[in-house]
Amino acid sequence: MLLSELPNDIIIVVLHSVPVPDLGALSRTSSLFYHLVNTFGWQIHIRRNPRPSFSLTKAREVWHPRIRVRYDTLSDKSWSSSRFVARPLSHPWPRKQQPTLAINNTRLVVAAGNTIYSYVFGTPRASGSPSLRFEGSLSLYEERNSQWDITALAFIRDNGEGRTLLCGFRNGTLARVVLVKEDNSNTLNAEIVNLQSHTPDIVESISTSGSLCLSLSSRGQARMVNLQSTPYTASSELDLGTRSWTTYMPDEGSPYVAFGCSSQTAPLSVYSILEGSLSHTPTAVLGTETSHSTSYSAVYGICRSPFSSPWGASPQILISGWFDGLVRVHDLRSSLLTEASPDNTGSTSPVPLRPVMSLNDPWSIEPVYSVSSGGGACSHLAAGCARNSLVSFWDVRYPKSGWSVYAPGNDPSPVYTVVLESSRVFGATDTRPFVYDFGPNVTQDTYPHLSPLPGLNPRRSVPGYYVTRYNHKHGSLLNH
């Protein structure tokens, strides 16, 4: 029996297991298969191979499914061969900053000092790469006062408008900020809708999920807030009692939060959300390879695992960046416990979970300040390092094949924040934001045009700049 003689619903089931090259070939064999592949085949592939990407949302709404699959396939090939376009997104800032990023389907926002820089995502031409256009900038406070520097940033729900931010400041204040664009100018205005004190110290991190917001101060004061109430009401508070750095709150439906701090016993801890409140004691402590540690460590960045990881797309997988330069992968479902330390045999805290995988750049001993997941085939991890504007990458399917690259301009700076999408990597040093683009058809107009800058060497063959990258060879995977 020929394939074409089968009922259409059977053929559609078969299409679930047909790879992209064969889908394309099949669509060219007859009008029947052309119709089935274009109506069902490409959509099936897209559903089975998600590629989360905020900056491509508008483009994917207008692209035909075949164009979407083509874009993702070419991007995956670029990831496999480490081919990308590197571009700075702005001139260097007047002074060194400690920036932070926030991204949604509409725009990318960079906060440096008390200034917000906004970039909006465009809709591409038929075969072009979606553009990123500078929308404008604004200073929330005119006077130069570092106490009003933005130290934490996150988008919050606003009925799909994509212009409402929650900002945390160095002086401990939280503010809801709505961006307002003036017509035909690069000037933004801000409506500060809600302003209130969080703690007397720095708001170090903000995470959001639905109507909930989790904020963390540098001294370990954590507050979970209901954003639907005005003024904000803290539904739960927690004192970690140590220098704290970062928070992580997974998508709705995963009732836990994670905190990264400086500690000898629990630098990475997980707390449950019970009836809208944080548990008073940790549900899990995520440790290192051994419990016999005599020095403090710290966790600076936390994210979820990529969707196409060997452990599955479970929100129970956490990725974290550590002071010792390692990126550790923990599975909250795991039974890999460290041996109880003699000093902690009477402790009420859980026995730390060992990581299921640890990754490092063997040529760098610097701490990891930021982590993110996504990338080609939705199976990559990215880590921003504490010096030399270095970003490291690993494909978790082939973790021995890691590599690292310096940001455009090679600034002697940490990569304070990194956002990994399917085809793009956004990051920021103390000097400027930047992007690596692995997608096809990137042109000079895809990103903001910048006049020549010292230390940036434009490439002739592609619309980007020269950057230095190197392979990790065989030292990037530590097995346990």
pLDDT tens for each residue of 14-32? 999 999 999 999 999 999 9
**Residues contacting residue 467 through CB under 8 Å, at least 6 positions apart:** 86, 405, 406, 407, 408, 410
- Using 50, 70 and 90 to split pLDDT, how confident is the model at 324? very high
Q: How many residues does the chain have?
A: 480
Of 139-153, 184-198, 339-353, 400-414, which has the strongest mean pLDDT? 400-414
Q: Domain coordinates of the chain in residue numbers?
A: 3-74
Question: Is a pLDDT exceeding 50 seen at residue 430?
Answer: yes
Residues 467-480 as b/e (b if ≥16 CB within 10 A, e otherwise) read beeeebeeebbeee
Query: Predicted confidence band at 480 (pLDDT cuts at 50, 70, 90)?
Result: very low
| pLDDT of 2 strictly over 70 | yes
Which tokens is 426 given? 């956004």
Closest CA to 41 of 56, 23, 61, 28: 23
Q: How far apart are CA 472 and CA 469, in angstroms?
A: 10
Confidence check: pLDDT of 453 > 70: yes
Confidence of residue 478 (pLDDT cuts 50, 70, 90): very low
For residue 20, report the phi and psi dihedrals to the nearest 5 degrees.
Answer: -55, -50
- What per-residue confidence (pLDDT) applies to 372? 98
- pLDDT higher at 74 or 477: 74
Of 296 and 262, more confident? 262
Residue 317 predicted with pLDDT over 70 = yes
pLDDT of 477 reads 44
Which tokens go with 299?
């966790």
Mean pLDDT of the chain: 89
Residue-level pLDDT at 469: 93
The structure tokens listed for 106 are: 């509409």
- 73: left (phi > 0), else alpha (psi -120 to 50), else beta? alpha
> Which pLDDT score is estimated for 454?
80
**Strand ranges, E, within 341-471:** 357-360, 368-374, 380-385, 390-395, 403-406, 417-420, 424-428, 433-437, 469-471
**Any residues with CB less than 8 A from the CB of 443 and at least 6 apart, and which?**
128, 129, 463
- Gyration radius of the chain over CA positions: 23
